[in-house]
Amino acid sequence: MAITDRHTATLALAHALSAAERGLPVIPLSATKLPALRSPHRKDALPTRCRGECGLLGHGVHDATTDPAAVRALFTAAPRATGYGIACGRPPHHLLGIDLDVFGENGSGGADTRTDHALADSLSSLRDLALRHLFTIPETVTVLTPSGGRHLWLTGPANVTVPNSASRLAPGIDIRGAGGYLVGPGSVTTRGTYRLAPGSARISPAPCPGALLHLVAPPARPHHPTRTTPGTARNPGQGLVHFVLAAHEGQRNTRLFWAACRAYESGYGDALADALTDAAVRTGLTEPEARATIASARRMTTA
């Protein structure tokens, strides 16, 4: 299916302008759900942490805007855009997304998982969290993804920063927070179109329940240096490697993705990548499959 024709691009701009009119900052996305504008610093000799201060376009979510003229300029610079992303954590809504993922939709699983069971598991996990932490999942804007997952839109308070995370709450539940974005309804991707769930067009994003907000934005933990026995080497990632090695068929990609996310969130993902890859290969994955899953975990947790 050709998805880069002028009609698709025009619709993407129209949807983006409509979202911007409602106070949702937007950027153009490609059919792969990535920002459609390439970084102006991609050829720099040294990495840069520019977030748009240079005045050029191509800084991903940092380009997001609600200004109609600026939105049109973004899409003019990205004529092959087929969708749009909505920046999370930005005023006035301070949007955060609960992504009930189908394993494999974002690289977190593969052909040895089942879509229906995966979504049922993520929904059940969210309901279990609600029961254990005494909150109600509110009626809110819900976006259906082409792979069978769904995004729940919630609003947060201005003084709370919600970080992005992947499967930290439970397998299959990802959080889109500050520095992240949600694929907007009406966007066309290589897998299909993102659509509003029935009834969502008539409601606004609901406030995030306090108990759920505490889970997705936990207070910083005090740092307590860990003493190690003289003569022993501390290897904080060994447990994650064993977790991957214990995977059975049907859970190999899921376990690898979960372990890689925890490693990157803890700050030693790159250092552990080779060991996780070797462990995944021993369970039956190919090295390219394992590397792709680890790269996906890195993108999800370091956005």
Quick check: is 188 in a domain? yes
pLDDT at 48: 75
pLDDT digits (tens, 9 = 90+) for 160-178: 999 999 888 888 899 999 9
The token duo for 205 is 């994003």
Residues 202 and 271 both lie in one domain? no
Question: What is residue 119's predicted lDDT score, i.e. its pLDDT?
Answer: 56
Write down the pLDDT at residue 46: 73
Q: How confident is the model at residue 235 (pLDDT cuts 50, 70, 90)?
A: low
Please identify, among 218, 252, 275, the residue that sits at the C-terminal boundary of a domain. 218
Same domain for 113 and 54, yes or no, is no
**Secondary structure of residue 33 in the 3-state scheme:** coil
Mean pLDDT lowest for which of 68-82, 109-123, 126-140? Answer: 109-123
At 228, the pLDDT band (50, 70, 90 cuts) reads very low
248 found inside a domain: yes
Q: Is 179 left (phi over 0), alpha (psi -120 to 50) or beta?
A: left
For residues 78 and 114, membership in a common domain is answered with: no
The three-class DSSP label of residue 295 is helix
Structural domain contains residue 224: no
Q: What domain range is 20 assigned to?
A: 1-85
Write out the two tokens for 173. Answer: 């539940």
Give the whole-number percent of the chain exceeding pLDDT 90: 54
Is position 229 within any domain? no
Contacts of residue 253, Cβ cutoff 8 Å, sequence gap at least 6:
103, 104, 108, 109, 110, 112, 113, 285, 289, 293
Q: How far apart are CA 217 and CA 53, in angstroms?
A: 28
Confidence of residue 114 (pLDDT cuts 50, 70, 90): very low
pLDDT tens-digit profile of 51-79? 888 889 999 999 999 999 999 999 999 99
Domain boundary, last residue among 68, 85, 102: 85
Average pLDDT estimate for 226-249 = 68
98 with 214, same domain: the answer is: yes
pLDDT score at 261: 84
Average pLDDT of 1-15?
Answer: 80
Considering the domain architecture, whether residues 66 and 93 belong to the same structural domain is answered as no
Q: Is residue 114 part of a domain?
A: yes
Q: Rounded to a whole number, what is the distance in angstroms from the first to the last CA of the chain? A: 30
Residue 226 in domain: no
> Do 175 and 248 share a domain, yes or no?
no
Proportion of the chain in helix, strand, coil states, percent, rounded to 5: 35, 15, 50
64 and 104 inside one domain: no
3 state DSSP class of 192:
strand
Q: What's the pLDDT score for residue 111? A: 38
CATH of the domain at 106: 3.30.2250
Q: Are residues 209 and 244 in the same domain?
A: no
Count of domains forming the chain? 3
Q: Do 110 and 187 fall into the same domain? A: yes
Together in a domain, 117 and 204: yes
Residues ≥6 apart with Cβ < 8 Å to 87: 24, 25, 26, 27, 61, 64, 95, 180, 181
225 occurs within a structural domain: no
Which range among 39-43, 186-190, 235-239, 264-268 has the greatest average pLDDT?
Answer: 186-190
Tokens of 90: 């930005």
Same domain, yes or no: 80 and 97: no
Model confidence at 219: pLDDT above 90: no
- The reply to whether 71 falls in a domain is yes
Q: Which of 31, 63, 85 is the last residue of a domain?
A: 85
pLDDT of residue 302: 64
Whether 208 and 92 map to the same domain: the answer is yes
| Beta pairing class for 142-144 and 195-196 | antiparallel
